[in-house]
Each structure stands twice: as C-alpha cells, then as structure tokens.
C-alpha cells in the first residue's frame, strides 16, 4: 500500500456533499486533524500512535491541497482511535508539544471533536455545533503571547533560553510572560472542561 501523500489529491466540488460511500473529504480530514489539535494531539504524537507522517499532518492542518484519498482514510481511522484519548505526556517534550498545539488550536479557533457531528464533518459547508467555545473571561492575548514565545524558542534560536531571555526577546517583562502562560493554561483547561461537559 503506498504511503499517504503518494496518490492523486482529493477533488471536491464546492458546495456539494460527497456521495454515500465516497469516503472522507479533504475538508473533513482537515477538521479532524484540527479537532485532535484542540485535544492537544501534536503531529508528532499522531505519528507515534498511527504512523501517519508528522509532516503530512502538519501540512494538512493548514492546507487541503495535498490531502490524498489514502491520507483522508488514514486520518479518519486515526480520529476514531484518538478523539477521546489524551495525548502522550510521559516526557517534558510530550507535554510541551501538547501545550503548543493546544494553544495554537485555541488561538486559531479550531473546534474539538465533540463540536462536530460525525455525519456532517465531511460536508463542504459543515460548521461546528453552536456554543462549543468557552467564555472569553481569559484573555486571548495570553494565548497569543505564549504562541509568540514558543515560536521564538522553536525557530529563533532560543531553545535553551530562560523565561527572562525569551521575555526580553519579545520586548516584555518576565512576569508578564509568566502570567500569560498561567492564563493560557487556564484557557486551555476551560476549553477541555467545556468539551467534557458537552459529553
């Protein structure tokens, strides 16, 4: 069986539902991966559990252009396996990857699995259920700051930097960055609580 990504891309007619038995759509594939991200499943964690390459997962989170039928089916199977499970958390790397993707999902407004109807997730015009978002008492600005800090760590040569050094790089005080992490964790926890209540 060829690896995901080696088959022709999915072709979708805008505004048209896939015929019964046609399989998962590119739109549904992206929604499933984003829903897993909202549950703190990083591309690396998904790869470890399902063998879907993390690079394909990362690409599909942001673009539907290269989602093949094989990848769509693989993601649908992975989603069924992982949607109600917590991601790996045994190592600091696991926990950091989970936190980064959860914060990215929160900042991007990606809906978790329980916000999606399985019968509609593959339809072009599908929308998550109303009321799935948590209240906005926790500032989204905190999520933005944390994502900026993680970006600096990952891509700007600050992997081993202290909190003070990262804060200085962002032009803010250390206390403010620390508070942003606290608020962002609360926001992420409230999102998870809202999802759990919906079940």
What confidence tens digit (pLDDT) does each residue in 45-67 have? Answer: 999 999 999 999 999 999 999 89
pLDDT band, very low/low/confident/very high, at 138 (cuts 50, 70, 90) = very low
Is pTM beyond 0.85 here?
Answer: no
Instruction: Name the band, by pLDDT with cuts 50, 70 and 90, for residue 170.
Output: confident
d(CA 169, CA 154): 13
Q: How far is CA 79 from CA 10, 28, 152, in A?
A: 19, 11, 30
Q: Quick one: tokens of 3?
A: 């690896």
CA distance between the termini of the chain: 37
What number is the average pLDDT over the span 112-126?
Answer: 91
- Looking at residue 7, what is its pLDDT? 40
Q: Three-class SS of residue 63?
A: coil
CB 138, CB 186: distance < 8 Å: yes
């Amino acid at each position: 069986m060829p690896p995901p990504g080696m088959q022709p891309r999915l072709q979708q007619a805008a505004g048209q539902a896939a015929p019964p038995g046609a399989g998962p759509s590119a739109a549904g594939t992206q929604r499933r991966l984003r829903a897993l991200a909202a549950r703190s499943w990083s591309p690396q964690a998904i790869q470890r559990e399902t063998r879907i390459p993390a690079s394909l997962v990362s690409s599909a989170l942001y673009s539907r252009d290269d989602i093949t039928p094989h990848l769509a089916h693989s993601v649908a199977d992975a989603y069924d396996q992982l949607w109600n499970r917590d991601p790996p958390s045994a190592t600091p790397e696991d926990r950091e990857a989970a936190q980064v993707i959860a914060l990215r999902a929160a900042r991007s407004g990606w809906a978790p699995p329980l916000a999606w109807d399985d019968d509609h997730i593959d339809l072009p015009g599908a929308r998550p259920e109303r009321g799935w978002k948590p209240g906005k008492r926790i500032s989204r600005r905190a999520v933005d700051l944390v994502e900026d800090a993680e970006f600096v760590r990952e891509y700007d040569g600050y992997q081993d930097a202290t909190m003070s050094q990262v804060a200085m790089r962002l032009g803010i005080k250390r206390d403010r960055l620390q508070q942003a992490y606290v608020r962002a964790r609360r926001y992420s926890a409230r999102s998870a609580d809202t999802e759990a209540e919906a079940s």
